[in-house]
Amino acid sequence: MSAINNALSLNDKLHAHLSAGYPGFYIQSSEEARVDRILTLAATNLQLHLMEWNLAYGWVDFRTKQPRTEATQTELAYCLPVLADEDLSRKLIVIKDAKAALENQPLAIARLKQLLNRIQRHHRGECAVVLVAESLFIAPQIEAQITLLPLPLPGREEIIEQIESFADEQNLIIPQALLPRLAATCSGLSEEEIRQVLSMVQHPHPELNEAALGLIHYEKEQIIAKSGVLEMVKVGETASDIGGLENLKQWLKRRAEIFRRLDEAEGAGVTAPKGVLIAGMPGCGKSLTAKAAAHLFQLPLLRLDIGSLLGKYVGESEHNMRRALTMAESVSPCILWIDELEKAFVGMGSGEGSEVSSRLFGYFLTWMQEKTGAVFVIATANNISALPAELLRKGRFDEVFYVGFPNAKERSAILGIHLRQDWGQLTEQQQQTLTALCRDYSGADIQNAVGEARESAFLDGQPLTHEEIERAIRATVPLRETLREQVGKYEVLFEKLKLKPASRVDGLSIAQMIQLADSPNPVRRKEVACHLECPDDLLEKLSTDTDLEVRLSVYRNPNCTERLLASSLSKDKKAPDFDMSIYRLSCVHPRAPMDLLASELGKWDGSDYIQEEALLACSHLSDEVKLTLFNKSKSHQTRMDICRQSTLSVELQGQLIDTLWDARLSQTCVQFILLIANPVLDPSYHKKIASHNTVQIIDALICLENLTSEAQMVILADGLHFLKLAKNPNINQHVQLSLLLQALPESDAQSVLDALKPGSTSVFFYNIIYSHPFQDSHFEEVYLELSQNPNLSADAVRVLVAFERNDENSSIMLNLASNPSLPKHWQLEFANSNNHWLKTRLASNPKLQDAARARLQEQGIESTDSSSDTSGTTLGAGVFESMARAAVSGSVGNIFGGATMFQGGLFPSWFNGDKS
C-alpha cells in the first residue's frame, strides 16, 4: 500500500503540475528501478505513453531498455531532434543520466529548452519531460521550466513489501515476528540499499535471526555514514550521567513520555513534540544531553553535521539538507540531533546572511513547521548570536534552553559522576573543597581534571587521592577563563533573550549577576559581590567598585580570587588607595596566598595591621605562617591559642617546643603547659620535655596518660618527682618497682629485683624487705599512691604486701584489697585473713574472683562491687587549664604538692578513688 502511496503522491504531484502546464520535472534519485516503477504507475494513472533516453543507448524502450534504433549518435543533443516529427500528446519523455547528459552541453541544453518551449506552447498539460539523475544539475537556461520532484525514501509498508518479495525470490525465511523489526531497521535506506543488505545477510543466515538483524543494523550505519550528512550515534549515556541541568532533564522526561504514548496523546489533543534548542556554553553538557535523550526516548539518535551540508554548488546545500531530513524522517521514530546549528546560519542574524543560508533556513523552518514524521529534533548551539531571531521564537522549537556554567550543586554532582566510587571515599569537607575549587569550570573542565588525576595516580602506581584530584583541578585552566569575553557576551544575551535556564537556580543566575553588577544601585552590586557563585571576572570588576561596602563584600566572599588577595596583600601601605579594612580582610581570607602572608607577617611590626584572632580562626594557615605569627605576636592569648590548636603539625610542635624551651616568664610557661596538654602533641617529644628543669613543665608532663616509658624513666632518674609519678596510673612496671624500692640501698634494691625474677627463692626477698622496714613518711605517701594504681603490676603488689605484712590494717593493705589489679592468689589470701576490714575492702574489689567471693561468702561477707569509680584514668583538659591559670597567678608549684587541690575535684577519678 505504501509503495502505492509514495507513488501516488508523486503521481499526484505530477498530475497537479502537468495540469498546471509545467513542462519539465527533475527527479533526483539513484534508485532507477524504483523510479521506473513509480513512473510506470504515474503514466498508467495519467494515461501517458513513456519514452526513455539514456546515456548508454540513446532512445530505448522504457520497459525492455532495448535501443529503439541503431543510431550511431546517442548524445542527447542529437537525439532530441528526433522528437521534432513525433506527436507529443500524452507523452512522458524520460531523460535518464540527466546531469551527465546536460552538464557542459550547451547544445543539448538549448535543444531541451526548445522541446520544453514546444510543450509549453502546444502540449500544455498533456506532455512533460522528466529528467532523472543521481545528483542535481539544472542549467540556469531551463531552471524556470523545471520542477524538482523529491522522491521520498521507501516508507515502512513499501519496505515490508520489498522484503517479502525478496524473501520469495531468494527462498529466504523471515520469521513473522521479526518482520516489523526488520522493516524498522531498513527504514532510511533506498530500495537498492535494502536489497544490498538483504543479499548480504542472506548467505550466512538463510533464516533471518537476531544476528542477521544486528548485521543489517551495522550495514545501515555504514550506509547512513556514507551519505556524509548523517551519522547514527551509538549511545550509552543516560540522564543519570548528567550532573545538574534539572529543568532540561525534567522537560525531556515529560516529552519522552508523550512520545512513547504518541497515539494516545494525539487522541487527547496533545500535539506531538517537535524538538528543543539547547544553546549555551561550550563543554557544559549539550551534546551529553542529546545522547542521554536517546536513551530517555528509547529511540535511535541521528547526528546531522551542519558543516557537511554546506556544498559548493548551487543548490547542493539545500539538497543535502533535504536529503538529511528525508533520511531522518524515514528512520523515524528517531531523534535528530543537529549539532552546532549556528553554523548553518552564519551571519543571518545580522542581516548579512548569504543566499544559501537564507534558503537553508527557510527550508529548515518549513520542515520544522510541517514535519509529520515522528522525528524529535534536538538542536545544539554555542553561539546564539549567530542564530536568526525567528528560530528562537516559540513555535519553531517547543522550548529553547540555555545551558550555563554549572552551579555549586551541579559541580558536586558532576564530580560525583566522573569520580564514581572515589567520590564516596572523600569526606564531606573534601567534597566541599573540591566543589569550591571547580567554580567557573565547565563540566568538560571537571571531566578533564579528573582524567588527569586518574592518569597521574595510575602512572605513580597509587590509588587516586584527594590531593591528586585537587592538584589536577588547580592545574586546569577553565574554559571560562580562556573565553572570558565571549562567555560574558553570551551570558548577557541569554539573559536578554529570556531563554529558559536548563539548571534549576536558587537565587541569582550568572547572567543575572552580570546584569546586576552594572546596576546603579550599590545594594544590588553588593548582592552580586557577596554571591558565592559570582564568577571571578565579576568579582575582580567589583573589587574596584566606587562603593566601599561593595569592595569589602568582594574580599569577604569566600571565593575571592587569589589574584585579588595577592594584590591587596602586596599593596604599599603608604599608597593613597591603601585600605586597611581590605588589607585586614585579605590577611584572614582562607584563599590568601600563604607565602605572601608569611612575608607580610615577617615584615609585621606588631601594629594592628594584622588581625591575629581572625587569622588564627583559619585552620588552613601553614606552619610557617603560624610560627611567624607566634614569634611576632605580643598577645598572650594568640600564643596560647596557637599552642592549643588541634591542627598543629608534628614539625610545628617541635618548633614551638624549641621556641618555648628557655622561657622564664610565667606566661610562656603557661603556653608550654598548654602545648604539653594539647592532645595532638606527638609522644616522641615526651622524653625531651621530661629533661626540662622547670617543675611546672614536668608536673604537666607527668599528668599525661600516654606518657611514654622513656619519659617516665627520665623523670624517675631525676629523683625529684616520685610522688607525682606514683600518681600517674599509667607508669610502667619498671617505674612502679623502682618507686617501691627507692628506700633501699641500691644493692638491696637490685637483690629484690633479682628475687622477683621467676625461679628465685623468696626467702632472700623477704629477708631484705624485713631488714629494711620503711620508716620514711615521704615514701609511705608514694606507696599509698601506688597501692591505688589500677594498673599495678603483680610484682609491685608482692613488694607492697611484703612491706605491710605486719600491719593488715594499714591504708596500703586496704587499698590493695580493693585494687582491681590485685592478683587472684592474693585475693584468696586476703579472703582467708583474720582481718575483718581487709576482707570488707576485698568485698568491694570490682575484679573480685569467684574463689575469693565464695570464701568471703562462707564467712558471711557479701561482695559490694563499686567498679565504676576505680577505673577512670583520663586526665581532663580542665586539669591543664587550672594549671595554666595557676601558673599565671604564680601558684603552679602547689598544684601537685597540696592534697587539698586533689580533693577539690580537679583530679581524675583514679586519684579520687577510695581514700578511706
Distance between CA 51 and CA 69 in Å, rounded?
A: 13
Shortest distance (Å) from residue 406 CB to ligand ATP: 6
Q: Which is nearer to ligand ATP, 24 or 501 (CB)?
A: 501
Smallest separation (angstroms) from ligand ATP to the CB of 251 = 15
Residue 283 CB, nearest approach to ligand ATP (Å): 5
Q: Please, what is the minimum distance in Å from the beta carbon of residue 356 to ligand ATP?
A: 24
Q: CB of 88: closest distance to ligand ATP in angstroms? A: 56
CB of 286 to ligand ATP, least distance (A): 3
Torsion of the alpha carbons at 428, 433, 434 and 438, rounded to the nearest 10: 140
CA 95 – CA 113 distance, rounded (Å)? 13
**CB nearer ligand ATP, residue 67 or residue 416:** 416
**Smallest gap from residue 594 Cβ to ligand ATP (A):** 32
3-state class of 302 per DSSP? strand
Q: For ligand ATP, which is the closer residue by CB, 450 or 856?
A: 450
Using DSSP's 3-state secondary structure scheme, residue 331 falls into helix
Q: How far is the CB of 403 from ligand ATP (least distance, A)?
A: 6
**At its nearest, how many Å lie between ligand ATP and the CB of residue 299?**
19
The gap from C-alpha 797 to its chain's centroid, in whole angstroms, comes to 63
CA distance to 533, 551, 721, per residue, from 527 (Å): 11, 11, 63
Is the CB of 502 or the CB of 892 nearer to ligand ATP?
502
Residues 768, 752 contacting (CB under 8 angstroms): yes
Min separation Cβ 383 and ligand ATP, Å = 10
Nearest distance, CB of residue 205 and ligand ATP, angstroms: 37
* CB 137, min distance to ligand ATP, A: 36
Closer to ligand ATP at the Cβ: 98 or 415? 415
Q: How far is CA 385 from CA 382, 487, 491, in A?
A: 9, 12, 11
Task: Catalog residues that contact ligand ATP under the rule CB under 6 A.
Answer: 242-245, 282-288, 380, 382, 406, 414, 417, 443-444, 447
Give the cell for residue 289: 544531553
Q: What residue has cell string 590494717?
A: 809
The vertex-755 CA angle with 754 and 760, nearest 5°, equals 110
Of 847, 878, 844, which is closest to residue 861 (Cα–Cα)? 844
94: phi then psi, degrees, rounded to nearest 5: -100, 125
Cβ neighbors of 625 (< 8 A, separation 6 or more) are 594, 597, 598, 601, 615
Q: Given the complex with ligand ATP, which of 223 and 444 has the nearer CB atom?
A: 444
The residue whose Cβ lies closest to ligand ATP is 443
Identity of the residue, 287 or 653, whose beta carbon is nearer to ligand ATP in the bound complex: 287
Nearer to ligand ATP, 287 or 793 (CB): 287
C-alpha cell at 140: 540556469
Minimum distance, C-beta of residue 60 to ligand ATP, in the bound complex (Å):
52
What count of other Cβ atoms lies within 10 Å of the Cβ of residue 666? 16
Q: Are 80 and 74 in contact (CB under 8 A)?
A: no
One-letter amino acid for residue 826 of the chain: W
Between 379 and 702, name the residue whose CB sits nearer to ligand ATP.
379
Task: State the number of CA atoms in the 13 A half-sphere of 568 facing the CB.
Answer: 29
Q: In this structure, which amino acid lies at residue 578?
A: F
Between 293 and 542, CB nearer to ligand ATP? 293
Q: What cell numbers appear for 530 in the block?
A: 557577596
CB of 382 to ligand ATP, least distance (A): 5
Residue identified by cell 631525676 is 718
CB nearer to ligand ATP: give 431 or 645: 431
Report how far residue 817's alpha carbon sits from residue 10's, in angstroms, rounded to the nearest whole number.
113
Place of cell 621556641: 659
Phi, psi of 371 (to 5 degrees): -55, 135
| Minimal distance, residue 277 CB to ligand ATP, in Å | 13
- Number of neighbours of residue 650 by Cβ within 10 angstroms: 12
- Residue with smaller CB distance to ligand ATP, 239 or 565: 239
d(CA 188, CA 194): 9
Cell numbers describing residue 877:
583538659
Closer to ligand ATP at the Cβ: 286 or 551?
Answer: 286
How far are the Cα atoms of 693, 829, 856, 868 from residue 853, in angstroms, in the given order? Answer: 48, 12, 5, 19
Helix (H) or strand (E) holding 9: helix 2-19
Of residues 444 and 585, the one with the C-beta less far from ligand ATP: 444
Helix pair 733-740, 709-718: axis angle to 10 deg? 20
The verdict on whether omega for the bond into residue 333 sits within 30 degrees of 0, i.e. cis, is yes
The residue among 383 and 730 lying less far from ligand ATP, judged by its C-beta, is 383
| Alpha helices by DSSP H, 335-381 | 355-370
For residues 661 and 631, is the Cβ–Cβ distance under 8 A?
Answer: no
Nearer to ligand ATP, 284 or 324 (CB): 284
Alpha carbon 1 to chain centroid distance? Answer: 53
We find the least distance from the C-beta atom of residue 591 to ligand ATP, in angstroms, to be: 25
